[in-house]
Structures are given as structure tokens and as C-alpha cells.
Amino acid sequence: MNTRNLNLKRLIVAAAVASALIWSLPAAAHCDTLDGPVVAAARKALDSGNINLILVWVQKKDEAEIRNMFNKAVTVRKAGGQAKELADMYFFETLVRIHRAGEGAGYTGLKSGPVEPPIAAADKSLESGKLQEVAQLISKRMEQGLHRTFEDVMKKKKYNPNDVAAGRAFASAYVEYTHYVERLYDAGETLAPGRVQKEAPGLAHSH
């Protein structure tokens, strides 16, 4: 295997681990933003009249409610102007709330503002079809974390056995380092789709 392919393989592994780590945390807020994929799909669905564009973002059990709200929104927005704006926003709110509930996440309203760097990079990679940029971003962050925790342990490793405070500082650093390594290792075996199927059966997406 040449160097280029080896580096790409390492980047892909890093991205896979990072993806799993994201799934091990509470659901990110990207999907409840006005610039997120759920609202983007809702805009296209309302403009085109094609509800299938948004059904993929909710569970099958919620499909009837979404269809009902979609039809109402389509009818009201025909009035144009403020009525259209209010109908769209109400539908966005309903769709995102139901989507978040399907993820097992709370909903505190639609948000605006810049998207977090890893999510922005992930979205960009899907648009470009290239993984390198997002993989490099994640790989760099993980490597920094490993170096930081490792170096902290090494600094505290050689302590006077009679200095209990120093020993406890080492023990704390040791636990942090080994648990960090363990989390990265375990995350490499965690697949996002499995988590979706376990916690939200029928949800047809992986974010």
C-alpha cells in the first residue's frame, strides 16, 4: 500500500471514530437550526409540494401528523405574504420538534447562527464527495487530545511515593488518559446506524 492510500485509510478511520464519538454524546443541535438539513428539506418540500422530501427525517409512526401539518401549511401559504411566512415557520417548528423527539432529544425552538466546525465540515464533505478535509479536522483534534492527556501523565508519573498529594495527581491524570484512549478505541466499534435502529427504529437518517 502506497503512502497516499495509507494516509487516506488513516483519515477514514479517524473520521469513523469521530462519527461514533459524536453519537455517544447528546444529540447535536445542528438539526434544530434554520440552516440545518431538516429545515432545508422542509423549504424544498413546501415549494415543490413533494412531502417525501421531509418524510425521511421522521419516524414512520409520525408520518400521519407530518402529512396533516404539511397539507395545512401548503393551504395557508397560498395566501402569500405574512400568512406564508407564518405557515412556513410553524411547519418548520413542528417538523423539527418531531424529528428531535425521534432522536430522543429535547426541543427548545429553532436556532440561527453559525454551524459548529465539525458539522460544517461534514456537510461540506457530502457536497464535495471528498472525506479528506473532515477526516483531517477530526484526526488533528484527536491527536491533540491524546498528546495533551499523555503528556500530563508523563509529567506526574515520577512522584515521591511519600507525597500522597502528588500521587493522587498522577492517579487522576492516569485515569483521564486511559479513559480517553478507551473511549476512542471503543468508539471505533460503534456504528451510528445501529444506535438509530436501537433508540429510534424507523428513523431514516444518520444524524
Query: Would you state the pLDDT for residue 162?
Result: 94
Report CA-CA distances (Å) from 9 to 38, 132, 188.
31, 10, 14
Is residue 198 packed enough to be buried (19+ CB in 10 Å), middle (13-18) or exposed (0-12)?
exposed
Is residue 103 packed enough to be buried (19+ CB in 10 Å), middle (13-18) or exposed (0-12)?
buried
Query: Would you state the pLDDT for residue 125?
Result: 87
Q: pLDDT below 50 — which residues of the chain?
A: 8, 12, 16, 18-29, 193-207
CA distance 119 to 161: 46
Query: Would you state the pLDDT for residue 7?
Result: 54
